[in-house]
Amino acid sequence: MTTHAPQAARSVTLPGSLDEAVAVLAATPAAVPVAGGTDLMTSVNSGQLRPAALVGLSRISEIRGWQYQDGHALLGAGLTHARMGRPDFAALIPALAAAARAAGPPQIRNAGTLGGNIATGAPTGDALPVLAALEATVVLAGPGGSRREIPVSHLLAGMEMLAAGELIGYVRVPILHAPQVFLKATGRTGPGRATASIALVLDPARRGVRCAVGAVAPMPLRPLDAEQWIGRLIDWDGSRTVVPEALTAFGEYVAAACIPDAAPTEGGAPQPLPPAVLHLRRTVAVLARRALGRALS
């Protein structure tokens, strides 16, 4: 372990293992973990955050790779977007690789990590809808070598929280051996934050389609009724195709579930959605239709 004293924080500690990092956090309650720093340092530079001490996670080699475990991949929280975007990772979890390739410019992808994306939990976090659609779990490392595992969706919804001193160690993702798609709409050409995104995965073993829509709400949204409806239309033992009308209907089903009509007024008259919201709903419908079309093609 090495310690420096930079300007922004009184000390920076660089532990070499997950348990060592947790021990430092326990001993220094005011310390804040930092991985790639792409989110954290933005807050520090803008003066929103003044951490008394930093615990750097970049030297913890055990969380920078992945391993197979009982039909799952155990992904280290320190995996960078750049690493997840490479072909060998794309062969394993195509949607997560596609999301990683879409996350910001190259400098951000080289430094930003999976764990940081989850811990920040921004609505525009590109990995988040993918993890929600895959029903991934996070393995949290706590004091004394303790580990607990919770669904990523619980963490993002605030149903369960990281306890003081806990770190995201790993993300457990099922290997589905079936098409997966991630699509993202931005308000500009080139790298940009999502205005809407969708992750869609086929799960032939459970004869299911799972999807999650990102950026339109504080956390990824799962349109469960639309998933079940389309899952029943797919001929899982045959060609795995649906008629074009079903693709369109699925897109609209997903969009209406994630961006519902406004509540009726007291007199019962339906309130029209503002044009910007209608546009967002159309964007989600197009993303969902295309994602399903690509997954089934």
Least separation in angstroms between residue 297's CB and ligand FAD is 26
Q: Are 28 and 53 in contact (CB under 8 A)?
A: yes
Least separation in angstroms between residue 40's CB and ligand FAD is 3
Could you tell me the two tokens for 95?
């949607």
Least separation in angstroms between residue 24's CB and ligand FAD is 13
Helices in 240-274 by DSSP H: which ranges? 244-258
Q: Is 274 helix (H, G, I), strand (E, B) or coil?
A: coil
Q: Please, what is the angle between helix 244-258 and helix 275-296, to 10°?
A: 140
Residue 41 half-sphere exposure toward CB, CA atoms < 13 A: 12
Least separation in angstroms between residue 277's CB and ligand FAD is 22
Return the number of the residue (77 or 202) whose C-beta is nearest ligand FAD.
77
Least separation in angstroms between residue 178's CB and ligand FAD is 24
Sites of contact with ligand FAD (CB under 6 A): 32-40, 42, 57, 77, 103-104, 108, 111-113, 115-117, 119-120, 124-126, 167-168, 193
Return the number of the residue (74 or 108) whose C-beta is nearest ligand FAD.
108
Return the number of the residue (43 or 248) whose C-beta is nearest ligand FAD.
43
Least separation in angstroms between residue 293's CB and ligand FAD is 24
Could you give the CA distance from residue 56 to residue 199 in angstroms, rounded to a whole number? 31
Give strand pairing partners of 185: 196
Nearest CA to 33 among 7, 15, 10? 15
Return the number of the residue (72 or 193) whose C-beta is nearest ligand FAD.
193
Return the number of the residue (42 or 271) whose C-beta is nearest ligand FAD.
42
Closest CB to ligand FAD belongs to which residue? Answer: 116
What is the Cα 93 distance to its own chain's centre? 13
Return the number of the residue (133 or 296) whose C-beta is nearest ligand FAD.
133
Burial string for 158-170 (b: 16+ CB within 10 Å, else e) reads eeeebeebbbbbb
> What kind and span of H or E run contains 53?
strand 53-56
- Walk across the sheet containing 194-203 and list its strands: 180-186, 194-203, 208-214
